[in-house]
Structure 1
Amino acid sequence: MSHVRLTPKRQIVYDTVVQLANHPSAVEIMASLQASGKKLAYATVYNSLRYLTDVGLLQELTVGGTYSRYDARVENHHHVICQACGRVDEVAREIPLPFLRAIEQESGYDIKLADLVIKGICPACRRQQEM
């Protein structure tokens, strides 16, 4: 990727995603900006997120097809998502090569990148369900 120059507003949005580090949604990013006294229009935030994703500075995670979350960690890694509260955590384990080769054999695809999303119930929600 060539050097990307960010406008001041895009830099603010990027810095906010990095600072939050919890895979924030656009709404959470807006709330954080407002809480810190930064006044950016919703359209500016959404357009900045799209741009930052397009140039590879952010990774967009679609959660349940209803909204996206953003991750400033763009190197290959995976995510586990709580189906109860929407919490997103990162998983650093590699996908076993035999599994990927079996998928290639079954599908005919030449797999270049695997981005695994695992869904389940987080520890906090499990504790609440047990009460």
Structure 2
Amino acid sequence: MRKAGAMTVQRKTIYDILTATDDHPTASDIIERLKAGGHNFAYATVYNTLKYLTEEGLIHELKLEGDASRYDARTENHQHIVCSSCGKVDEVFVEPPTAWLNSISEQTGYEITEEKILFKGVCEGCKNAKSAAH
């Protein structure tokens, strides 16, 4: 029997899918990619693996408004921007201004230990499609 914390073949396979992509897949997307790769993991295995990888700090779960959770293997500090037209998610590597964080801390009395800011906008593809339609 394997230990609960071991990196099993199933966990490694799912982790490899996440590290090979930057499109922030949902659990359903991951299941489709597993099937396309000839794997037939139980849904519970996929969901439990995503929970395990998140708890171990190997991936981040992105909970976006009104959408299924998405998963990101990039664990360094960064933010995300979501296209309000097509739902595409991209990464943003701009640090929030220190003065702004200090102001929030002073105003609320909180010590800020982590920031997760979600930006929304219209991606270039959707902007171009809209321009072409006019």
Same fold (TM over 0.5): yes
Which consecutive residues of structure 2, in runs of 5 or more, have no partner in the other structure? none
Classify the secondary structure of the residue corresponding to 2:116.
coil
Measured in 1, the distance between the counterparts of 2:47 and 2:13 equals 13
Runs of 4+ with deviation above 2 angstroms: none
Classify the secondary structure of the residue corresponding to 2:76.
coil
Identity of aligned residues (%): 43
Measured in 2, the distance between the counterparts of 1:65 and 1:104 equals 29
Measured in 1, the distance between the counterparts of 2:7 and 2:30 equals 18
Bigger Rg, structure 1 or 2:
2
Which consecutive residues of structure 1, in runs of 5 or more, have no partner in the other structure? none
1:5 shift after superposition = 3.4
**What is residue 112 of structure 1 aligned with on the other side?**
113
Using the size of structure 2 for normalisation, the TM-score is 0.90
Q: How does 1:1-131 map to 2 (within 5 A)?
A: 5-130=6-131, 131=133
Range moving further from structure 2, 51-60 or 102-111: 102-111
Measured in 2, the distance between the counterparts of 1:67 and 1:79 equals 15
Measured in 2, the distance between the counterparts of 1:80 and 1:27 equals 21
Range moving further from structure 2, 51-60 or 98-107: 98-107
AA of the residue aligned to 1:32: R
Counting matched residue pairs gives: 128
RMSD: 1.2
